[in-house]
Amino acid sequence: MSFSAYFEKVREQQLDELKEWLSIPSISALSEHKGDINKAADWLAAKLTSAGLENVEIIPTKGHPLVYADYLHAPGKPTILVYGHYDVQPVDPLHLWETPPFEPSIRDGKLYARGATDDKGQVFLHIKAVEAILKQEGKLPLNIKFCIEGEEEVSSPSLLEFLQTGADRLAADAVLVSDTSLIEKGKPAICTGLRGLCSLEVAIHTANTDLHSGSFGGGVPNALHALVSLLATLHDDKGRVSIDGFYDDVAPLSAEMRAEFVKQDFNESKLQKDLALDSLYGEEGFSFVERVGARPTLELNGVYGGFQGEGTKTVIPKEAHAKITCRLVANQNPQDILDKIERHLRAHVPTGATLNIQQGEKANAFNIDPSHAFLQAAADAFEKVYGVRALFTKDGGSIPIVETFSRVLTAPVVLMGFGLPDENLHAPNEHFNLENFDKGLLTIVEFLKSV
């Protein structure tokens, strides 16, 4: 029986199984769902076992458990580590969901539920692809390991700790991850770069109390004025970050990579219209997809201070705050960037204000050469199933554990996603297009049989 016929035969059964998993509210960020996290891990371990994998283990951690499995019966063949996560985002605002987030439903060829595309649905494809090969052929053409965690949505602290001592157990020739998207329907992509991240919070203080704007206005510093003035120094009028040395370690985009971006044929005018914008914005000399995928940024995520209530309160605020994040690329070091930003801010503090800075999270960027044989095999697998060879892209988001796997395991990471950009991951009405469920199963089988 062909794999297409096999998957068609078991499709409804497999979708029912996936619905079971999606009905478990494994929200890692909320402590009241600890029991659900454990239930989801148990479900996963049982499915890995029934698929034919061996050495299935639920590994306790200080947080949520890791689930491990392997099948290592192909001496001399490559070993692939499949990584994913079974935890999901919170569901708020609940009233915006058309159907309950943990009561999976299929509408218009899409499976709706929290975790449908991020990442239970995509992890499920790998389990069922392995199961299919074992049932159809009796053995795997390579060695495979699974490491599925329950804390990706809260920055993977337990997996990072596990890798300090347990990396040998996860040793592999390549890491396979499905937690990204196609460019659009029918246009597969393999991500060759994820931006890094760093964050900080800034607080400006002036007087020791809020002051009446009639009695003191024009005669004392205003914390909000000072903060706005300070933040205005962070960019120039061409969209570049004005921090001294911010771009020092940014490698220029190669002609080959720029050509891949052009092949995406991204419609900037449509995006502008869809977002009801008068124009797009960004660093001069780069297209939208280059700006958000391959260039570093500095963004204000929150600016606040003074009176926030209804109506007017005529005060001069004594303090004001800002939250800042940067997306980083290539060889930029998060700590180095944070230190450069802090030096810049302290050098530009307005008269009469004092500055407090709290540095926050740090994550390195991930980058891989698309000519690597494992990535080329993945592109070939996509072409066999979708009829279109995958383009090599760079993603503006961050999955910090990907860079860690690449560095600690010294293995290439193949980001072979089957989601779509509009599937509402992290938002109400998250869903997974079943066209990519069907084609994803076949693509993974093709990839595993070709490397």
Looking at the structure, tell me whether residues 339 and 376 fall in a common domain: no
Q: List the chain pLDDT tens, one digit each, 451 residues.
A: 999 999 999 999 999 999 999 999 999 999 999 999 999 999 999 999 999 999 999 999 999 999 999 999 999 999 999 999 999 999 999 999 999 999 999 999 999 999 999 999 999 999 999 999 999 999 999 999 999 999 999 989 999 999 999 999 999 999 999 999 999 999 999 999 999 999 999 999 999 999 999 999 999 999 999 999 999 999 999 999 999 999 999 989 889 889 999 999 999 999 999 999 999 999 999 999 999 999 999 999 999 999 999 999 999 999 999 999 999 998 999 999 999 999 999 999 999 999 999 999 999 999 999 999 999 999 999 999 999 999 999 988 888 899 999 999 999 999 999 999 999 999 999 999 999 999 999 999 999 999 9
Residue 291: inside a domain, yes or no? Answer: no
* Residues 168 and 231 occupy one common structural domain: no
How far is the C-alpha of 402 from the C-alpha of 413, rounded, in Å?
7
Please check whether residue 231 is in contact with residue 303, taking contact to mean a CB–CB distance below 8 angstroms.
Answer: yes
Examine the domain organization and report whether 354 and 312 are in the same domain.
yes
Strand order in the sheet with 110-112: 105-107, 110-112, 431-433
Regarding whether 219 and 174 lie in a shared domain, the answer is no
pLDDT value at residue 437:
98
Domain boundary among 363, 390, 412: 363
What distance lies between CA 376 and its chain's CA centroid?
A: 22
Q: How far apart are CA 322 and CA 141, in angstroms?
A: 53
Question: Which DSSP symbol is given to 389?
Answer: P
In a domain, 98, yes or no: yes
User: Which CATH number characterizes residue 187's domain?
Assistant: 3.40.630.10
Domain match, 62 and 8 both: yes
- Structure token digits, residue 402: 């990907």
Please state, in angstroms and as integers, the Cα–Cα distance from residue 446 to each residue in 160, 375, 384, 422, 442, following that order. Answer: 31, 13, 8, 26, 6
CB-based contact 66:159 (threshold 8 Å): yes
Answer with the one of 306, 331, 363 that is the final residue of a domain. Answer: 363
Dihedral, CA of residue 279, residue 284, residue 290 and residue 294, to nearest 10: -130
Same domain, 82 and 110: yes
Total domains in the fold of the chain: 2
354/213 same-domain check: yes
DSSP 237-273: TTS-B-STTTTTTPPPPPHHHHHHHHHT---HHHHHH
| Residues 299/326, Cβ–Cβ less than 8 Å | yes
| Residue 290 lies inside a defined structural domain of this protein | no
pLDDT at position 276: 95
What pLDDT does residue 145 have? 98
Q: What is the side-by-side strand order in the sheet with 319-328? A: 297-305, 319-328, 196-205, 354-363
Structure confidence at residue 422 (pLDDT) = 93
pLDDT at 399: 84
The strand pairing partners of 433, in sequence order, are 110
- Tell me if 282 is assigned to some domain: no
User: Which residues lie across from 68 on neighbouring strands?
Assistant: 57, 147
User: What phi, psi does 38 have (nearest 5°)?
Assistant: -65, -40
List the Cα angle 83/15/375 in 5-degree steps.
35
- CA pair distance 424, 405, nearest whole angstrom: 27
Element spanning 361, H or E: strand 354-363
8-state DSSP, 301: E
Q: Which residue has the tokens 């490397």?
A: 451
DSSP character at residue 286: -
Whether residues 188 and 51 share a domain: the answer is yes
Task: Quote the domain boundaries for residue 350.
Answer: 196-250+296-363
Beta carbons of 419 and 180 less than 8 angstroms apart? yes
For residues 136-149, b (16+ Cβ closer than 10 Å) or e, as one string?
A: eeeebebbbbbbbb
| 173, 97: one domain | yes
Quick count: other Cβ atoms within 10 Å of Cβ 135?
13
Helices first, then strands: H and E counts in the chain: 13, 18
- Return the sign of the alpha-carbon dihedral for residues 271, 273, 276, 278: positive
- Please indicate, yes or no, if residue 105 is contained in any of the structural domains: yes
Q: Please choose, from the candidates 400, 378, 404, the residue with its C-alpha nearest in 3D space to the C-alpha of residue 389.
A: 378
| Same domain membership, residue 435 and residue 345 | no
84 in helix, strand or coil? strand
Q: What is the pLDDT of residue 280?
A: 95
Instruction: Quickly count: other Cβ atoms within 10 Å of residue 242's Cβ.
Output: 14
Same-domain pairing of 47 and 176: yes
Question: Are 162 and 306 in the same domain?
Answer: no
* Residue showing tokens 């180095």: 336
In a domain, 437, yes or no: yes
Domain end residue (candidates: 363, 378, 405): 363
Residue 224 counted as domain residue: yes
Residue 7 placed within a domain: yes
> HSE on the CB side for 95, CA within 13 Å?
0
Domain with residue 244: its CATH number is 3.30.70.360
Interatomic CA distance for residues 48 and 70, integer angstroms: 9
